[in-house]
Chain A
């Protein structure tokens, strides 16, 4: 027997069902969103990579990290992996002789990351030897290590960084044997880890530039 009460009850049931379905949607969305999160956030992919157009068409970059403890009252094991060094590998020191080599790090917001003691220190630069060396060089003065602003203006500030130009040993990038045509230039941002401590997770892009003008 059909009655107005039954119809009313069916309508009420549909309303409850509809409310339940609508209530589920945010929960489902949040669950799926949480599942696709990797690490500390979304990761970018390498659409921006391109071959070099400078003195060497096949240089590579390798970033070395190390643990930097930063304990808090709540968490004695707190810390992060700081960028210890940036290595430009497979450098041909014959074709790049006398040129300046610049490295900078860029974060996920396309902002240059400070790599020196002052906020405007955005670029690390060395001058490659006029003649390809036969042994490793780790003298920052000999290699003219310096800080530059983002637009390439030299900064006069004490050096916290160090550098090595290696032609003997094993390449950081791929473990091949080093030579003058396959050299490693490694920039150590702050070997003491006292001042320049960049969280490796913030670096999303690196740039390697060579400068032709010896006066630059």
Chain B
């Protein structure tokens, strides 16, 4: 069909272009555009829940005026994963078998997690910070939430204060940085995000308009802020700060002409 080598080369090039374009179209169809991110269904594998030390609330009660939001939540029952009797029995059985038990923290394969964040967040075009309350997720009991800001930092708990916190069951690391990690039960993370301080996304030198931030959720067996687990996430969502049009004006009452 193409006896001329030059024509043949052009034909091959165009054929390649078509193949590339078609694959891009298919890829576009396959990649979800919506904010709802659901990891591909994977059979949930029951994993061992580590034995949890009894929580100590007396310390919190004694110094309630000085604890941070993260500390309060970290010491609350919602941050404490419950070890089921079966899991505990299995754990004890395994402990007796081996002197040095190793508990896998990362659940493999990742269970189906649902994460909702608005794709676009309407903000005042002059905003340099935004109190983010619109995050919803479910699917497992213990998570690692990895927030990554693009040109923005994230401040959780008390605004302006570094609320990094670490207990056995609840960890906050990287407060007021571009990479914030929170790990604990879903209830504990949500409680922290929905306190009056919540999570505030900010840029101290410029507006938020056009900036983005990403949340990646990873299912774990126990709280951990090992950054390598962020990469294992199958539930990732990004929000974009879209400036609202703002009209501000004065309205005067109507007058009667005489």
Taking beta carbons and an 8 Å cutoff, which residues of A are in contact with B?
Answer: 6, 9-10, 13, 16-17, 20-21, 23-24, 27-28, 30-31, 34-35, 37-40, 43-55, 59-67, 77, 79, 81, 84, 102, 106, 152, 169-170, 172-175, 200-201, 203-213, 215-216
Shortest C-beta distance, A176 to chain B (Å), equals 9
Q: Can you list 11 A-B pairs, Cβ within 8 angstroms, ordered by A?
A: A13-B7, A16-B11, A17-B11, A48-B247, A52-B248, A55-B250, A61-B246, A79-B136, A201-B119, A201-B120, A209-B251
Q: Which of A40, A43, A216 contacts B251 (CB 8 A)?
A: A216
Find chain A residues with CB under 8 A from B35 CB: 39
Measured CB to CB, the residues of B under 8 A from A are 1-4, 7, 10-11, 14-15, 17-18, 21-22, 24-25, 28, 33-36, 38, 114, 116, 118-131, 133-134, 136, 159-160, 196-197, 200, 209, 240, 242-253
Complex Cα spacing A201 to B244, Å? 11
> Do residues B4 and A213 form an inter-chain contact, with CB atoms below 8 A?
no
Contact of B122 among A17, A30, A173, A203 (CB under 8 A): A203
- Which of chain A's residues have a CB closer than 8 A to the CB of B2? 13
Say which residue of A84, A200, A212 sits within 8 Å of B250 (CB atoms).
A212
Measured between beta carbons, the chain B residues less than 8 angstroms from A213 are: 252-253
Provide the residues of chain B in CB contact with A24, threshold 8 Å. Answer: 14, 17-18, 21
User: Would B244 and A46 count as touching, CB distance under 8 A?
Assistant: yes
Chain A residues whose CB sits within 8 angstroms of the CB of B247 once the complex forms: 48, 50, 205-208
Contact B14 A20 (CB under 8 A): yes
| A60 in contact with B129 (CB, 8 Å) | no
Inter-subunit contact A170/B196 (CB<8 Å): yes
Inter-subunit contact B28/A13 (CB<8 Å): no
A contact residues around B127 at 8 Å (CB): 60, 62, 173-174
Q: Is the CB of A50 within 8 A of B124?
A: no
Of all chain A residues, the one with the shortest Cβ separation from B3 is A9
Give the contacting residue for A43; candidates B25, B38, B240; CB below 8 A: B240
CB distance from A15 to the nearest CB of B (A): 12
Instruction: Please measure, in the bound complex, the distance between the C-alpha atom of A212 and the C-alpha atom of B250, giving whole angstroms.
Output: 8
Q: For A28, A38, A61, A170, which residue has the most chain B Cβ atoms within 10 angstroms?
A: A61
Q: In the complex, are the beta carbons of B248 and A48 less than 8 A apart?
A: no
Quick one: given A54-B249, A77-B114, A201-B120, are A49 and B21 in contact (CB under 8 Å)?
no
- Interchain CB contact under 8 A, A50 and B253: no
Chain B nearest Cβ from A165, distance in angstroms: 17
A77's partner among B25, B38, B250 (CB-CB below 8 A) is: B38
| B131 engages A34 (CB within 8 Å) | no
With beta carbons under 8 angstroms apart, the residue of B7, B200, B243 that contacts A46 is B243
Inter-chain contacts of A47 with B (CB < 8 A): 245
Give Cα A28 to B251, complex, Å.
Answer: 51
